[in-house]
Amino acid sequence: MCFSIYNKIVKRGPKPKGNVKIRWSPHFAYAVGLLTADGCLSKDGRHIDLTSVDKAQLILFKKCLGIKTKISKKYSGIGNMAYCVQFSDVLFYRFLVGIGLSPAKSKTIMAVAVPDQYFADFLRGYFDGDGCSYSFYDSVYKKSYRFYISFTSASPKFIDWLRDRLNKLVEVHGHIDQSKKPFYVQLKYAKKEAVQICKYMYYNDAVPRLVRKHLKIQRSMSIISGRRGGEIGKHASFRS
């Protein structure tokens, strides 16, 4: 489905050269997940940008796509520094548009056409860009260890789509919260559903992932697997 859409939007004429090998794989799907979270498509129809405060994320992104583009620094209007990878690839740009990405996508993105086989990798990439996990012992129920995982977007339709896909593939339901200032939508999972998603995303030790986020989850999972009493997230309620 993805490639049929892509082929329709390629115009006739001299074939543009591409730097990215367009073929679904765990590494490719992970990179698409990162771009869905933090990427930017220029309006010129060829340039692709990924910006992050974590340089390790961009090094991994380049490795997943097999590109040699240098990592540069950029500064916000208030002087905060971040790292950036920007490159030109018309074919990859058109492919991304064909599967659901677009310029200024943060509030308008609706869905991304990712094959089920690689959705765990796409989800892990999106999590490394716009997701988080946290855990703690309940202050009232001492034997209850709360564990949460969440995904954030400025597009409610995208979060609805993500929730539906996870319900289909992992059989989890989750909970949606909204914040008004600044506006964003957050898809949250707690208890055993959060554990299910983590096992789904990190299905083996060789998959590309952001090390610091994976280590944080590993610590939580280690506590959960080693517990002697109580339940995961017993009496848990969602908190922003």
| 77 vs 233: which has the higher pLDDT | 77
Alpha-helix runs per DSSP H in the chain:
2-9, 26-38, 55-65, 90-99, 119-130, 156-170, 191-201, 211-225
DSSP letter assigned to residue 18? -
Model pTM score: 0.87
pLDDT at residue 171 greater than cutoff 80: yes
Q: Which CATH superfamily is domain 126-225 in?
A: Homing endonucleases (3.10.28.10)
Per the CB < 8 A criterion, the answer to whether 174 and 188 are in contact is yes
Pairing status of strand 131-137 against strand 81-88: unpaired
**In the CATH scheme, what architecture does the domain 2-106 have?**
Roll (3.10)
pLDDT digits (tens, 9 = 90+) for 103-113: 999 999 999 99
pLDDT at residue 44 greater than cutoff 80: yes
pLDDT-based confidence at 225, cuts 50/70/90? confident
| 63 vs 136: which has the higher pLDDT | 63
Compute the average pLDDT of residues 78-84.
89
Q: What pLDDT is attached to residue 15? A: 65
Q: What pLDDT is attached to residue 12? A: 57
Q: What pLDDT is attached to residue 238? A: 36
Tokens of 207: 């998959």
Residue 50, strand partner residues: 39, 85
* CA-based nearest residue to 38, from 151, 137, 187, 189: 151
Residue type at 202 in one-letter notation:
Y
Integer-rounded Cα radius of gyration of the chain: 19
Per the CB < 8 A criterion, the answer to whether 124 and 198 are in contact is no
Q: How many Å apart are CA 126 and CA 91, to the nearest integer? A: 22
Q: What pLDDT is attached to residue 161? A: 98
pLDDT at residue 78 greater than cutoff 70: yes
| 128 vs 7: which has the higher pLDDT | 128
* CA-based nearest residue to 189, from 158, 161, 221, 166: 166
Q: What per-residue string of b and e applies to 6-34 under the rule 16 or more CB within 10 Å gives b?
A: beeeeeeeeeeeebbebebebbbbbbbbb
Q: How many Å apart are CA 221 and CA 87, to the nearest integer? A: 38
pLDDT at residue 49 greater than cutoff 90: yes
Residues of the chain with CATH 3.10.28.10: 2-106, 126-225
- Residue 16 CA, chain-centre distance (Å), reads 29
pLDDT digits (tens, 9 = 90+) for 175-199: 999 988 789 999 999 989 999 999 9
* Mean pLDDT of the chain, nearest integer: 88
| 30 vs 136: which has the higher pLDDT | 30
